[in-house]
Structure 1
């Protein structure tokens, strides 16, 4: 701030020579006139900086000491504006820029979504755009409570959603949890849990509802595993009322997953040379401009595109990219048996890793790798344990009128 104030108020550089220069400097100090960057020259003159306010206080000291003062430089906003009186376009630009910033500050330019894992950010942004919430929308048209409610209704697996506006950012925080549809009365909607896959139940924890299957049972696709209806019976073991609940349970099944991959023993590989040719391109909408050499036979074209963003989720319809041309030749390669088996095992491990990242447990691996004269074949099954359970509407039952009257 101390370095900025001189520019705000204006300051000048002066040269002092002739007369009693040392006495002049002493008088300036005694009168509180601040001089800085004072330097002397071989001819006995001095140069220094001082503020414009203090410059006008030099006259009495100058008359007493008979020194001569010459202005060498002028700095600061007052001198800048004085020299720019005739530059109307410059000030018009500053005014227009200020108006533009004021208008743009009243809109949302960055929609930031955090906490989401099941539903991706592009998916949520696409949904919000259909609801009229997009980049550039005026802030006064954004109802944070309505935005949070719309997301909860569209993605029922979210436990809660909050939305708030900070500056030109709309920040949406999502916390994902167990699926739980909420009715207008703020109560869980009754539902049952069915099996979307076939297998043997190895673990089952029921928190709400009536389990229709137990550990060790085999379920088929579509079977109801946990019923979201409670049959309330009287002393005669007759149902006199039905209560409907939101079924909630963790169910794990063991099933066999078929696996089959063919890996050719002979394949064609591209061998690249060290020589490269670089280029680039700019794409704006349907317009495309590229520079660099054109690809020829025996050269492979590889591109990398970088879309331009104003904010993390506000992508402009403009992108730039690089083009790399690399010379190559194709070569027929015959795998050795041990190399083929090692590659087939690597592919199998990658497949298992992808399953485990989705929460699937590998119980047993019954895959065999065999090699014939043409292919390396991996075939068999993987025994896996995975969580299942799909919520479906519970079937509504009606009591007979006679039974209702008896218990009325």
Structure 2
């Protein structure tokens, strides 16, 4: 039995042979091609030997015709090891479960710490983090990467300038830099309302002050619309002029729209794979979909695994695969013109005040060149043109 590994897999049995016919029994074993080894003769009627587990039934038949008896001393190899494991399965499962649970607990979020923020900002950030699952008791490998968490907080919180995200074992640490909004400057209690641009007056709503213009008047930039000095020469009073003065103003915009545009769009098809990354190789956990797409977008998120505070040489990896396809948008000349007008309106309104509205528009110039439509557009806008100007003592 020189092949130790094969014998371990098959299993071996150590036997004791007692009686006068030991030699006859051993010779019969050789004739039946029963592999027997490690024969040790103690005396004329006692010997020990090792046989393969699969030959036990043959030995039982041969011993009937021999003037001796056999006794089984012990068994070795995989079959006996398996039997002992099954016999002690409760202990083995408990031991294995203990380490699995301990490993899972080592990869949960047990602490979320926020520093550098006021209590109100900290409370707001805690609520935002809870929306994406960053809270106590969640598994770290199911959360987004620190970079995505940082981007989410920056995009959804207007009162922070920057936030740093650091993962230390089972804790998430956030370092916050809040916005330092400048204190509003104290305005003088006395002021005029002046025109901030050229316009034709369309309407006035004066709460305080003396109007100096009327509807349909043309005003230049800087011209006083509502005076903060009221009364007559004998009884003058200075106040803070307040109100809104609407006027018709004019803008010019250049818009360009291509007739053909190529871009990539997601089809909605896709799948997600999960792996345990052992550095040398990756073991798939579930989602064994091997569907191949002609064009695809792949996003990988990797989470290191920990045992207590020690980082293990393996990690959990989530791979999202999304199918995409080429698409082409084609406009006719008329459609391109309409799209350019729509883009121009949206672009202009984004730069105006909330109560501003476009009264009219006119295409000054239109051309088609190199697959693009270019428009030069003139707009008539109704907006509040009033701006404040402090009244300096002595005016």
On whether the aligned pair clears a TM of 0.5, the verdict is no
| Structure exhibiting the larger radius of gyration computed from Cα positions | 2
Task: Compute the TM-score of the two structures, normalised by the length of structure 1.
Answer: 0.38
